[in-house]
A = this chain, B = another copy of it.
Amino acid sequence: MKVKYNLINKDRNTEARYGKLETNYGTYETPMFMPVGTKATVKLLTPDELYEVHAGIILANTYHLWLRPGGELINKAGGLHKFMNYKGPILTDSGGFQVFSLAKPKDITEEGVKFKSHLDGSNLLLTPEESIRVQNLLDSDIAMSFDECPPYPVTHEYMEKSIERTLRWAKRGKDVFNNPNQSLFGIVQGGEFEDLRKKSALETVKIGFDGYAIGGTSVGEDKDTMYRMIEYSTKYLPTDKVRYLMGVGEPLDIIEGVIRGVDLFDCVLSTRIARHGNAFTRNGKINLRNLKYREDFSPIEDTCDCYCCRNFTKAYIRHLITSDELLGGRLLSIHNTRFLIRLVEELREAIKENRVLEYREAFIRQYQSK
């Protein structure tokens, strides 16, 4: 089935939305944080651990899976869900972001992007058609249109040409899309230019997709610019379709995104910082390598319900991290992912009760209190 977004409550004072998203794997509440499983695995975690932190949709990266093990193999396995044994919805990106960030040098033409594989240096061409073909094979629940992710900053002139090409790519992708169980999302680009964000949003909506993503907001700008880019995008998107802010997952950015009407977020941060010994807490990010946790026999957060906090102390996790024991990164990945999911759970309640701004204020006060 195509995903169906139902708007249930809108916060009275902001654009924040509480909604329900119907998917092939049941109905999920939004705003939602989606853990990233780049190579068909959320690093170090099993599907059961994802269910336990109340994950809904998870991400997988088409670029990585296209290169290895290949869309055909995963299709033979019965699709991505069967391959990785995840019994929940999966969103695949288009591969565009990775081609622009990982694969260098690259040559962007109307046809697509020519680049060298980051694995073996072979010459490859990723086109809108190939991206959709691979995503159709992967059989994710949500596929993304192939877009250009320009660096920041670029000129208005470059960005205008870029969004026009991205619109043509989106159209070409939609034309070859042929998986009836899958939804296809369009992507709004346009950098920090309101007129281009508007044009990109309206034209993408004109092509018509099952949901809309906002790209290019997390490529190194200051936060105010980023939040403006989000505003410039969501305000031109239809209220009856789900909205996804790509690659954003700092706690404060999730809150600011929700306030601007975003429903879905993804980010590698929760698991990446975990592997380096960092944990999200209500009082800010902490690094478990810090000597002050050596004899701290309390959990990372007393109020957290995750497996890590229910069972292990900071002193033990510090020991694991400083001893290069991978269980440390695994436990912190569980905690951090659950942290962001608890955050969106709380935001849902705040939206229903029209107190999103108060929630933000209280969260920021505590988060920056350290």
Contacts and interface: CB of A to CB of B under 8 A. Distances in A.
A315 interface: yes
A77 interface: yes
* Interface size range on A against B: 35 or more
B295 A327 contact: no
A85 B325 contact: no
A47 B68 CA distance: 33
A323 B37 CA distance: 13
Interface string A38-52: 011101111100000
B315 A68 contact: no
A319 B323 CA distance: 27
Contacts of A73: 294-295, 315
A83 interface: yes
A235 to B, nearest CB: 40
Given A294-B73, A295-B73, A297-B77, A39 B330 contact: no
Contact of A39 (B44, B76, B312, B325): B325
A328 to B, nearest CB: 8
A316 B68 contact: no
Given A41-B320, A69-B294, A294-B69, A77 B326 contact: no
Given A40-B316, A44-B326, A83-B315, 13 more contacts: A39-B325, A41-B320, A41-B325, A43-B325, A46-B307, A47-B311, A69-B319, A76-B295, A83-B313, A83-B316, A85-B311, A85-B312, A330-B330
30 contacts: A39-B319, A39-B325, A40-B316, A40-B319, A41-B327, A43-B325, A44-B44, A44-B327, A44-B330, A45-B327, A46-B307, A46-B331, A68-B319, A69-B294, A69-B319, A73-B294, A73-B295, A73-B315, A76-B295, A76-B297, A77-B297, A77-B313, A77-B315, A78-B297, A83-B319, A85-B311, A85-B312, A85-B316, A326-B326, A326-B330
Interface of A: 39-41, 43-47, 64, 68-69, 73, 76-78, 83-85, 294-295, 297, 307, 311-313, 315-316, 319-320, 322-323, 325-327, 330-331
